[in-house]
């Protein structure tokens, strides 16, 4: 009787074992179908860490054959190439505790493949009988990131070095300009005194020479002022005193201030306005200098007897001031030079028109501080139109 019960119990145990093996085989077929759909290297291990199966991506990536892989302990694959400390830690210590691990990084030198950095995603399934292991080779990505970080660090270092040199240059220009202005102003005063006869009567020739000296001294002072303005704006030392101001009044003030210059060239200025008052949020003193600069340029680079037209309007919450001339125009290849420091463009009037190449650079900086922009359209021998857009404060 006892023997019969024992036989029945053994038969049941064998039956249960056959059922588990059959179920496991079905699962293996299922998992194998899944692994083949995964593009990254994928491997299935049993609870003894031996390879049950792997997908084609695994064999291709790690240059191994199926017959040398299935049934082998993972550490012994490829003549023990896979015996990596990081992999052992994951499979033998981390995974048994957590059952799931994502983004685990392993760095290892493969004798046949070289140094590899791999991201491992692992999961235990079927009561820990199987381990699903997905492997992502991130060696190239890590190298690109490392190279990118190194390049960025070098560029940052060079930028800081160049910024330091630029700051030193700006400081030097500012200091030199200040030092030059004092003696230049003194020369102007003494030349004026001599011209006015404080040192005695002058001959006609002496008056001519003093007039040349005076004009050149004035030119020197203009250059010094340009350098100082640019040094201040580059050094972040220009602060706007903005309030709602009538732009029409500023334009008319600039036109009156340059009336004699335009009259001497036989030129005229026409101001077109859509309404009597056009208000914008500006620093009136600095914006007047911007307007004067653009107006002066329009006249200097236009022929005698020509007309400069200034149009003031408002659109899309912007106050727009356009300076249109019929002058020499600007070549397309020279457009990119326009707003750069110390950049002067060669044309048939450039020898006559005095300039430091700083005016338009300064104009763009000041308009930018107002939150506005400067644009230009031009055709050779047809003229140019410079347009500034300034955010609108109010309309009356």
User: Do both 108 and 64 map to the same domain?
Assistant: yes
Task: Return d(Cα 290, Cα 390) in angstroms, integer.
Answer: 12
- State pLDDT tens for residues 29-75: 555 555 556 678 888 888 899 988 888 888 888 877 888 888 889 88
Q: pLDDT at residue 366 above 80?
A: yes
- Burial readout 145-178 (b: 16 or more C-beta within 10 A, e: otherwise): eeeeeeeeeeeeeeeeeeeeeeeeebeebbeebe
Average pLDDT in the 173-179 region?
A: 63
Output the CA torsion 158→164→170→176 (10° steps): -120
User: Do both 249 and 199 map to the same domain?
Assistant: no
Q: pLDDT at residue 334 above 80?
A: yes
Residue 364 lies inside a defined structural domain of this protein: yes
Specify the pLDDT at position 322: 95
Q: Give the three-class secondary structure for 354.
A: coil
CATH number of the domain within which 123 lies: 3.30.450.20
Percent of the chain whose predicted confidence (pLDDT) is above 70: 82
User: Do both 102 and 206 map to the same domain?
Assistant: no
Which has more confidence, 142 or 178? 142
User: Do both 267 and 250 map to the same domain?
Assistant: yes
User: Do both 9 and 117 map to the same domain?
Assistant: yes
User: Do both 73 and 98 map to the same domain?
Assistant: yes
User: Do both 15 and 132 map to the same domain?
Assistant: yes
Residue 194 lies inside a defined structural domain of this protein: yes
Task: Return d(Cα 27, Cα 29) in angstroms, integer.
Answer: 5
The half-sphere exposure of 137 on its side-chain side, counting CA atoms within 13 A, is: 17
Task: Return d(Cα 230, Cα 171) in angstroms, integer.
Answer: 11
Name the domain boundary from 137, 168, 195.
137
Which has more confidence, 319 or 215? 319
The answer to whether the predicted template modeling score (pTM) of the entire model surpasses 0.75 is: no
Task: Return d(Cα 291, Cα 251) in angstroms, integer.
Answer: 7
CATH number of the domain within which 208 lies: 1.10.287.130
190 C-beta neighbours (distance < 10 Å), count: 13
Residue 52 near residue 34, CB atoms below 8 Å: no
Name the domain boundary from 215, 234, 253.
234
Specify the pLDDT at position 59: 84
Tallying the residues shown for the chain, one arrives at 396
* Phi-psi domain of 6 (left: phi exceeds 0; alpha: psi -120 through 50; beta: other): alpha
Specify the pLDDT at position 340: 84
User: Do both 383 and 255 map to the same domain?
Assistant: yes
- What is the number of domains present in the chain? 3
Residue 37 lies inside a defined structural domain of this protein: yes
| Residues facing 271 on adjacent strands | 310
Of 279, 277, 271, give the one whose Cα is nearest residue 311.
Answer: 271
Tokens for 352, please give them: 């006559």
User: Do both 379 and 250 map to the same domain?
Assistant: yes
Average pLDDT in the 202-231 region?
A: 80
- State pLDDT tens for residues 73-96: 988 887 777 888 888 888 888 888
| 183 class by beta-carbon count within 10 Å (0-12 exposed, 13-18 middle, 19+ buried) | exposed
DSSP string, 262-275: HHHTT-EEEEEESS
Name the domain boundary from 200, 234, 268.
234
Residue 133 near residue 125, CB atoms below 8 Å: no
User: Do both 48 and 121 map to the same domain?
Assistant: yes
Task: Return d(Cα 206, Cα 213) in angstroms, integer.
Answer: 10
Residue 270 lies inside a defined structural domain of this protein: yes
Residue 144 lies inside a defined structural domain of this protein: no
Specify the pLDDT at position 394: 43
User: Do both 247 and 382 map to the same domain?
Assistant: yes
User: Do both 280 and 362 map to the same domain?
Assistant: yes
Distances from the Cα of 279 to the Cαs of 228, 270, 321, in angstroms? 29, 20, 12
Residue 387 near residue 376, CB atoms below 8 Å: yes
Structural domain range at position 13: 2-137
297 membership: H or E segment, kind and range = helix 284-300
Q: Is the dihedral of CA 5, 11, 15, 17 positive or negative?
A: positive
Distances from the Cα of 231 to the Cαs of 42, 164, 196, in angstroms? 63, 14, 35
E strand intervals along the chain: 42-46, 51-54, 100-110, 114-125, 130-137, 243-246, 268-273, 279-282, 307-315, 318-324, 373-379, 383-391
Residue 146 lies inside a defined structural domain of this protein: no
Residue 143 lies inside a defined structural domain of this protein: no
Inter-residue long-range contacts of 144-150, CB under 8 Å, 24+ positions, other chains counted? none
């Amino acid at each position: 009787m006892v023997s019969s019960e024992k036989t029945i119990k053994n038969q049941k145990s064998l039956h249960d074992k056959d059922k588990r093996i059959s179920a496991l085989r079905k699962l293996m077929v299922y998992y194998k179908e899944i692994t083949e759909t995964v593009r990254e290297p994928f491997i299935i291990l049993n609870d003894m860490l031996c390879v049950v199966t792997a997908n084609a991506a695994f064999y291709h990536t790690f240059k191994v054959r199926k017959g040398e892989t299935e049934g082998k302990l993972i550490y012994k694959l490829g003549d023990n190439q896979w015996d990596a400390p990081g992999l052992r830690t994951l499979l033998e210590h981390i995974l048994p505790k957590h059952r799931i691990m994502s983004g685990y990084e392993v760095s290892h030198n493969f004798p046949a493949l070289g140094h590899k950095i791999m991201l491992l995603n692992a999961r235990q399934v079927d009561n820990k009988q199987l381990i699903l292991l997905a492997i992502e080779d991130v060696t190239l990505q890590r190298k690109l990131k490392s190279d990118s970080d190194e390049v960025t660090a070098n560029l940052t270092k060079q930028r800081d070095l160049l910024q330091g040199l630029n700051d030193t240059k700006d400081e030097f220009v500012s200091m030199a300009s200040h030092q030059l202005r004092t003696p230049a102003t003194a020369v102007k005063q003494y030349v004026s005194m001599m011209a006015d006869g404080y040192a005695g009567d002058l001959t006609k020739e002496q008056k001519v020479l003093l007039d040349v000296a005076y004009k050149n001294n004035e030119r020197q002072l203009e250059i010094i002022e340009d350098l100082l303005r640019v040094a201040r704006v580059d050094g972040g030392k220009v602060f706007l005193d903005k309030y709602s101001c009538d732009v029409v009044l500023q334009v008319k003030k600039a036109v009156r201030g340059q009336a004699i210059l335009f009259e001497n060239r036989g030129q005229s200025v026409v101001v077109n306005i859509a309404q009597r008052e056009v208000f914008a949020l500006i620093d009136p003193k600095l914006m007047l200098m911007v307007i004067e600069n653009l107006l002066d340029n329009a006249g200097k680079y236009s022929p005698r007897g020509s007309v400069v037209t200034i149009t003031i309007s408002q659109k899309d919450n912007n106050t727009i001031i356009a300076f249109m001339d019929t002058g020499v125009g600007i070549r397309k290849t020279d457009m990119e030079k326009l707003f750069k420091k110390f950049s002067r463009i060669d044309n048939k009037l450039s020898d006559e028109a005095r300039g430091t190449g700083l005016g338009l650079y300064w104009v763009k900086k000041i308009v930018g501080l107002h939150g506005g922009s400067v644009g230009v359209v031009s055709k050779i021998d047809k003229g140019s139109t410079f347009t500034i857009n300034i955010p609108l404060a109010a309309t009356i």
